[in-house]
Amino acid sequence: MADRDGNIGAKDYGLDRPQQTPGFHIKGAAQLDFGMRHRLARVFGPDGRTVMLAFDHGYFQGPTSGLERIDLDIVPLAPHVDALMATRGIIRSVVPAGVDNALVVRASGGPSILKDLSDERIAMDIEDALRIDAAAVAVQVFIGGEQETQSVHNLTQQIDAGLRYGVPVLGVTAVGKELTRDSRYLGLATRIIAELGAQLVKTYYCEEGFANVTAACPVPVIMAGGKKLPVLDALTMAYRAVDQGAAGVDMGRNIFQREAPAAMVQAVRAVVHDDARPAEAEALYRELSGGAQD
């Protein structure tokens, strides 16, 4: 009988024994082709962690607050992050070709905020990802949503194409208002995405059981920043996620909607790459921002 209702209570997540990846520093990637590993090594630092800056929001909600001018609001932040997550339209029109960040390109889309967001399709051919020099492509997956099967099909189509060309796929767990962001749901969604072949997964943080979510996912889990929080709360969430097994963060609104985005992204980087505690990172934000109080 499948463990559909959680009737097997005694599960061993092996939290005291990290998953081993012999020969390569990125979780679950040791047996991938060279090109795939080379691209992943651009997304993640030598410590196996990443600070990704997400500013792809416009593909479904237009000029989001803080993203009205990508050239003014986002490009100056690029030196402080490992990867930029954006659409191909923004990359080609605004992002300078001289940036050395890894590019994670949104590859699914369709409906706007005026429609059912789960009704997405593949929105970019994998060959165009190669032309852009993408380090990875991102596909939204709506586990439990109205268009679950279609979004899973979008994912597997891109995974197959990515395997042909050596391009990793980031599976993004989409959580609608009707779905609970608890460890049971997030564990289900992240594991499905990894089992279907995605090389990395982006998901939300949950207060209880997040370590189980990351432990049960055989590929890197990157924490999604979600809605804007107070500075200390956002940094605490990032710290706890990494401490509980996340391979980094992909933040957007918690960075670009700040009074001092450049200060915030450096504080986040201190948490992810330097193991700074939340209070230390908050103090860094206040210092670099000249005392911003948001």
**Residues known to be catalytic:** 202
Do residues 203 and 190 touch, judged by C-beta distance below 8 A?
yes
In this structure, the dihedral spanned by the alpha carbons of residues 42, 272, 22 and 163, taken in order and rounded to 10 degrees, is -40
DSSP3 helix / strand / coil % (the chain, rounded to 5): 40, 15, 45
- CA 9, CA 180: separation in Å to the nearest integer? 20
DSSP secondary structure letter of residue 79: G
Contacts of 97 (CB under 8 A, 6+ apart): none
Q: Whose CA is closest to 157, among 145, 139, 180?
A: 139
Collapse the DSSP code of 262 into the 3-class scheme (helix H, G, I; strand E, B; otherwise coil) and give the result: helix
**Cβ burial 78-102 (10 Å sphere, 16+ → b, else e):** bebbbbbbbbbebbeeebeeeeebb
Collapse the DSSP code of 102 into the 3-class scheme (helix H, G, I; strand E, B; otherwise coil) and give the result: strand
